[in-house]
Amino acid sequence: MMQDLEILDIVDESDCVIGQKKRSEIYSQGLCNFRVVNAFVVNSLGQLWIPRRSAQKRIFPLCLDVSMGGHVESGESYEDALQRELKEELNLKLDNVDFRLLGYLRPHQHQVSAFMKVYEIKLDDNPNYNQNDFIESFWLSPSELIEWLNKGEPAKSDLIKLVQMFYVN
Q: What is the DSSP string of the chain?
A: -HHHH-EEEEE-TTS-EEEEEEHHHHHHTT---SEEEEEEEE-TTS-EEEEEE-TT-SSSTT-B--SEEEE-BTT--HHHHHHHHHHHHH---GGGSEEEEEEEE-HHHHT-SSEEEEEEEE-SSPP---TTTEEEEEEE-HHHHHHHHHTT--B-TTHHHHHHHHH--
pLDDT at 2 over 90: no
Report pLDDT for 3.
61
Q: How do residues 63-107 score in pLDDT, each as one tens digit?
A: 999 999 999 999 999 999 999 999 999 999 999 999 999 999 999
Paired residues of 99 in beta bridges: 121
How does residue 5 score in pLDDT terms, banded at 50, 70 and 90? confident
pLDDT at 133 over 60: yes
pTM: 0.94
Going from the N-terminus, what domains does the chain have, and what CATH number goes with each? 2-167 (3.90.79.10)
The predicted model gives 39-58 an average pLDDT of: 96
The predicted model gives 22-44 an average pLDDT of: 96
